[in-house]
Chain A
Amino acid sequence: MRNTKYNKIADRHKAEENRTKNLLIAFVSGGIIGFLGELIIEVFCLWMKMSRSDASSVMILLFIFIASFLTALGVFDKLANKFRCGLLIPITGFAHSMTSSALDYKKEGLIYGIGSNMFKLAGNAIVYGVVSAWIFGLIRYFLGGVV
């Protein structure tokens, strides 16, 4: 009885989120990030006469630099609130999580603050990436002669 009443009140005060709008925003903002990435690669290839793989690395460095810088300025959090997954899923989200945790723990000192906590949020991507890549690589290694 009390629970149902509580749930009713809680439901009324839950923030209304328009899911379709969220999806569209994520699609368009993520798409623009991808579009910019390809554009930067083609510009580097044309003007700087780089090979495509070099241009890709430089493009990723550029995105990481911009995301870290915007996070340090405090702009990225506002943008991420607005665009959500469009900014968090590309490599910008990885750079953002590292810079923000480094900044948050700065007050605990250089070694135990910044040094220990830098991977606090981004560590899951690395751990699960390495473990899954190792397992799938093992499968591929043993199937190597077959496939």
Chain B
Amino acid sequence: MLLFNSFLFCGFICMISQMIIDNSKLTPGHVISLLVCMGAFLDTFNIYDYIIKVVGGGALLPITSFGHSLIHGAILKTHVAGFGGLFMGMFDMTAPGISAAIVFSFIFALIFKPKD
């Protein structure tokens, strides 16, 4: 069931963004920023956590989950460190993704030649 839900949710997000891009002058960059803000907004009151519980891996893949993990780490840290936790915990949960993206793209940029 989680597999089917993942298919539906991830496909739905991609379809919505394709619809926005096709019917307006926004570029993928705009849509990605919008989705990240949306993910952060949805997790303010733990709605995105519920979505992840219901949908599984399909909710972790769209870029909305990036906003979710940013705010989730920050809020978790405020329980320990108070107000400063908003700054300290920001990248706690999303660190593996960002570090991996930096390291892999640096290595591949060194090895490969750009194709035009």
Contact = CB atoms under 8 A, between A and B. Distances in A.
B31 interface: yes
A72 B105 CA distance: 8
B10 A137 contact: no
A37 B100 contact: no
B4 to A, nearest CB: 8
A34 B112 contact: no
Given A37-B57, A74-B115, A93 B28 contact: yes
A47 B9 CA distance: 26
A61 B32 CA distance: 20
What is the interface residue range for chain A against chain B?
35 or more
Contact of B61 (A91, A132, A133, A147): A91
B104 to A, nearest CB: 4
Contacts of B71: 132-133, 136-137, 140
Contacts of B80: none
Interface residues of B, number: 69
Contact of B15 (A26, A37, A122, A124): A26
A50 interface: no
Q: Which 3 A-B pairs have the closest CB atoms?
A: A34-B10, A30-B14, A31-B11
Given A118-B105, A124-B33, A132-B71, 17 more contacts: A34-B10, A34-B11, A35-B7, A38-B56, A38-B57, A60-B96, A72-B112, A89-B17, A90-B61, A94-B32, A95-B104, A98-B105, A99-B108, A128-B33, A129-B39, A134-B74, A144-B78
Interface of B: 2-3, 6-15, 17-19, 21-23, 28-29, 31-33, 35-37, 39-41, 43-45, 56-63, 65-67, 70-71, 74-75, 78, 83, 86-87, 90, 96-98, 100-102, 104-106, 108-115
Interface of A: 17, 19, 22-23, 25-35, 37-42, 56-57, 59-61, 63-65, 68-69, 71-74, 77, 84-86, 88-91, 93-95, 98-99, 102-104, 106-107, 114, 118, 121-122, 124-126, 128-130, 132-134, 136-141, 144, 147
